[in-house]
Chains A and B, each alone.
Chain A
Amino acid sequence: MSEEHRLYLKKLKTRKIVIRIAQFGTLIFLLGIWELAAYLEWADPFIISSPSRVAKSIASLYSSGELFTHSFASLWETVLSFTLSTVLGTVIAVALWWNDFLRRVAEPYIVVLNSLPKIALGPLIIIWVGAGKAAVIVMALMISLVITIISALQGFSSVDSEKIDLLRSMGAKKGMIFLKLVFPQNIPNLLGILKINVGLSWVGTIMGEYLVSREGLGYLLVYGGQVFRLDLVMASTVILSVLATAMYLLVGLLEKLVSKHFSDGGTFK
């Protein structure tokens, strides 16, 4: 290794450390200002809460067991709707890719469903599936399903027609073309959709819980707001950020594993 390269690597490492310090520094600084503002009553601690109050609130949620009840409720709803919308959306996109007639017929419905603010469907959903967990899941599903169909279909349709001709000249039928070309080429696109769906499923779950539920982080947020317990609202927000980020990172990890499989020369059978 040349001296120059060694210096370059060292610089790179130093920069990384500086960035980490700055990141944590910002966090500690903001928390400190917040705590101080509450302690010195620059603003009413009842309204702005404070880090120590939030921590206490989380601790009491933990000791009462509510932390897990609410987190698991939301997490379960999110994971379920995320899985459903990804699988269902991809399957519908495959069907529409397969059959052009079906696709043309479905087009205006998809456009309308995509433009519609899904929360407007709230009352209908509640009446149809009842004011429970099912309503939350359906709401979350509605939010991410249509966009999954649109993005997946767009990816499927963007495959080079010359590549399709090549496989056709080898005698491949539509199913084979999907299996050997369209699907594997779209794996990065589908992984991108997963990442978007993580966020959307959380939006849907929290929104659904605002509307109906008796448990979950969305419920906790609304409840905290109604009884003016800002500590509880803040605590729920913190827990929510942690869970959503964890899920996002998990999907990121999956993406990494799959692209590693790609570069190792793996094929998708």
Chain B
Amino acid sequence: MKLMELIDISYIYHSADGETEAIKGVDLTIEEGGFTAIVGPSGSGKTTLLKIMAGLIKPSRGKVLLPENVKIAYMPQRDQLFEWRNILKNVTISQEIEKQDKREAERYAEELLDKYGLGEFKKKHPSALSGGMRQRAALIRTLLSRPRLTLLDEPFSALDFQTRLYVSDDVFRILSSEKKSCVMVTHDISEAISIADRVVLLTRRPATVKAIYRIELDKSAPPTVRRELAGFTEYFKTIFSDMESSDE
């Protein structure tokens, strides 16, 4: 089933100094159950594209088609946990805003926090958590609204390399055990191949879709394992050289 369809999306930034064409004629379909990674050189408008998908900004041209009652959740680059709220209050904020039943929200939150090893931290404040744990809490906050589609903006970019590897395993494990469809934006090609089953390569600004790759690696293997699989390097080489050639 199609969760989202982008048709001829363009976006132009306007400022007093002039206009910048960030995205130009992007067509993209997101299917249920898939994990799509959008990669591209930095400054290529990936985050803008994701924000358009999240409904945070309106495209200058084109349409975002969304079947009714497809709930979307957006996870920004940094965890953006609120320091004055404890973890439980942080992850249930979306339900608080929608004025949903607090008890039910907290019950589900505690279930997920327990399941993913944050149970004993639910009354703690974000500052008591490590970078990886904070990212996990941010992901649980994203999942708590039971979205059909989860949008992740460079979820590992704020972490150091080692943490990044283990957090990507973490995120992969949580997303696949909750059976979530995902779109992730990243500038790191190997990260994209290690976690997604489809990689969309964008060109330099103005961004257009340069190529889409199916990643036929073992889908059940976590990212760190996938990085060791035969074929991983080939994907990397292909996408990397395609990305380089788009520079010219």
Contacts and interface: CB of A to CB of B under 8 A. Distances in A.
Interface of A: 160, 162-163, 165-172, 176, 180-181, 184-185, 187, 262-263, 265-268
A267 B89 CA distance: 8
A184 B82 contact: yes
A163 B25 CA distance: 29
Given A162-B77, A185-B82, A265-B125, A168 B56 contact: yes
B176 interface: no
B51 interface: yes
12 contacts: A162-B76, A162-B77, A163-B76, A165-B56, A169-B74, A170-B93, A170-B94, A180-B96, A187-B84, A267-B84, A267-B85, A267-B89
A180 B84 CA distance: 10
Given A184-B84, A265-B86, A166 B97 contact: no
A162 B96 CA distance: 19
B54 interface: yes
Contacts of A181: 82
Contacts of B94: 170
A107 B73 CA distance: 37
Interface of B: 51, 54-56, 72-74, 76-78, 80, 82, 84-86, 89, 93-94, 96-98, 123, 125, 145
Q: Is the interface of B mostly helix, strand, loop or mixed?
A: loop
Nearest to B96: A180
B97 A172 contact: yes
A166 B55 CA distance: 11
A56 B143 CA distance: 72
B80 A176 contact: no
A139 B51 CA distance: 49
